[in-house]
């Protein structure tokens, strides 16, 4: 969830590894974390730069083996965060797919219009 919300590896992991260091990570469970959760929107393009470990596919691959029921047995609160994160990943992927389809359609329509324009210009000449 930290990667998903834009935290850097150095802020939450042991130095030089991908291993979560809880002593570092728990310092970020504060109002800033809750503001990031509240302000996160899965819709629209993201203007920020992301590292490889902050992209949706990487995060999704890391949590695919996690069972929601196991998390719920461990902690009800963590299960709610997990459900929020998986839902936002799903919405984000749907939005990206939809925007790609719209761009492809716009490109196709533009090409078609250019071809028609070229044909009209050729008929005039």
Q: With respect to residue 19, please indicate whether it lies within any of the assigned structural domains.
A: no
d(CA 19, CA 69): 23
Residue 86 inside a domain? The answer is yes
Q: Quick one: the chain helix, strand, coil %, rounded to 5?
A: 70, 0, 30
pTM of the model: 0.71
In a domain, 88, yes or no: yes
> Is a pLDDT exceeding 90 seen at residue 100?
yes
Q: Residue 93: what pLDDT?
A: 92
The CA distances from residue 54 to 3, 5, 64, 89, 114, in Å, are 5, 8, 15, 12, 39
Assess contact for 32 and 88: CB atoms under 8 A: no
3-state secondary structure of 74: helix
Question: Six-digit token pair at 52?
Answer: 């490889």
Residue 32 in any domain: the answer is: no
Q: What is the DSSP string of 43-78?
A: SS---S---GGGSHHHHHHHHTT--HHHHHHH-HHH
Q: Report yes or no on 78 lying in a domain.
A: yes
Query: Would residue 34 count as lying in a domain?
Result: no
Give the mean pLDDT of 18-42: 85
SS3 (DSSP) at 2: coil
Number of structural domains found in the chain: 1
pLDDT of residue 108 exceeding 90, the answer is: yes
Residue-number span of the structural domain to which 50 is assigned: 41-124
pLDDT at 15: 85
Task: Specify if 16 maps to a domain.
Answer: no
Q: Is residue 117 part of a domain?
A: yes
């Amino acid at each position: 969830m930290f990667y998903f919300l834009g935290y850097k590896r150095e802020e939450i992991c042991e130095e030089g590894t991908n291993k979560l260091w809880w002593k570092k990570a728990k310092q970020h469970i504060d109002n800033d974390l809750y503001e990031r959760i509240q302000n996160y929107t899965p819709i629209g393009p993201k203007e920020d730069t992301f590292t490889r470990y902050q992209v949706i596919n990487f995060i999704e691959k890391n949590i695919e083996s996690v069972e929601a029921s196991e998390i719920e047995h461990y902690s009800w609160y963590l299960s709610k965060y997990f459900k929020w994160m998986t839902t936002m990943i799903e919405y984000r992927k749907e939005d990206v797919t939809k925007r790609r389809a719209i761009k492809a359609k716009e490109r196709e329509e533009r090409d078609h219009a250019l071809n028609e324009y070229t044909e009209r210009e050729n008929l005039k000449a």
